[in-house]
Structure 1
Amino acid sequence: MDFKLDGLSKFQKDLLEVAQDKLPKETYQIMRKIGSKARSRITKEARSKVKKKTGNYHKKFKRGKVFKDNQGQIIVRVINSSNHAHLIEHGHRKVTGSGKEVGFTTGKKVMEQGIQNFDGSGEFENMLSDWLDELLDSGKL
């Protein structure tokens, strides 16, 4: 997931950097909450786009572990661990039993749309700013 921090002021961005250095456990905890919220938003998007209820596609959306990447950014992933999720996401060929190709099913782009909806809703920035306010009120920062 890649979110833009457009809704935060410069002061809040500076606070976020300080919080990442001084309070890494709390930072990881808020990122887990944000990842869980994003997972639920993506699952909702998937249920509206993918109407066929065969398999375990809708049940297999998961929030991954929170980790730091090579640039030092804290990242959380949302994945779908079902075997056929990539086919729904990116599309697939339609073939007969003999192997003859009869068409192509275009991808639904569920993950991409779900992330865009979550990022555009401002919920990410609201959760971060509320968390920063709580840290300031409690005296941890």
Structure 2
Amino acid sequence: MARDGIDLSELDEFTDRLIQSSKEAKKTQRKFLQQQGNKLKRKTLAQMRLSEVNELTGNYKSHIKRGKVWKREDGAQAIRVYSNAPHAHLIEDGHKQLVNPGKGKGNGHGVIPGRGIGHKPKDGKKDYVEGRKVFLNAYKDMAPEYGRACEEAIDEMIRKI
């Protein structure tokens, strides 16, 4: 190419490095998102302890998981932290308090067949349990830290080019 007076060898070398770095960037992005997902999971578990979700909530703690990295419809990669416990939405969002009618006299355990699941509490007792918003609060705590980590990761990828 030097015969025309323009040498594009450096430009070709730079484009080759850009192509190679874009292939490496996919792996780096995936690893970065997995690490951030793990951090969000730890923050969620810490938030669960702070919001005083007690041990009587079944397997709520053990069902909090980090999902896989996936591609959204707009082409961006994403990861999520979720709970696959069947009662997680009740703890997160709140619910109406129902009292189990029980089997005759006694401590109120069990369901009398044909009577349904329960009834609302009487005598001025609280009839709605507020949600703990564990995942929302963990997300809010993680957002600024995640922004800084993204900036650092982008700067690191640019330095490698």
TM above 0.5: yes
What's the counterpart of residue 3 of structure 2?
none
Larger Rg: 2
- Number of positions where the alignment pairs a residue of Structure 1 with one of Structure 2: 119
Identity percentage over the alignment? 27
Paired residue for 2:138, among 114, 127, 131?
Answer: 114
> Is this contact kept in 2: 1:47–1:58, CA < 8 A?
no
Q: CA deviation at 1:130?
A: 2.7
CA distance in 2, matches of 1:79, 1:114: 12
2:97 aligned with 1:94 = yes
Counting only pairs closer than 5 Å after superposition, residues 46-125 of structure 1 correspond to structure 2 as 46-54=48-56, 55-98=58-101, 99-102=118-121, 103-119=127-143, 122-125=144-147
Which consecutive unaligned segments of at least 5 residues does structure 1 have? 1-17
Aligned AA for 1:58?
K
Q: Which has the higher contact order (CA 8 A, sep 6+)?
A: 1
Which consecutive unaligned segments of at least 5 residues does structure 2 have? 1-18, 102-117, 122-126
Which 10-residue stretch deviates more, 73-82 or 96-105? 96-105
Aligned AA for 2:119?
K
Q: CA deviation at 1:128?
A: 2.0
Aligned AA for 2:131?
G
Q: CA deviation at 1:127?
A: 2.0
Q: Could you report, residue by residue, the CA deviation over 1:17-48 in whole angstroms, capped at 9, with x for unpaired residues?
A: x9x95421211110111111111111111111
Q: CA deviation at 1:50?
A: 2.8
TM-score (normalizing by structure 1) = 0.74
Secondary structure of 1:105's aligned partner:
strand
CA distance in 2, matches of 1:136, 1:69: 24
TM-score (normalizing by structure 2) = 0.66
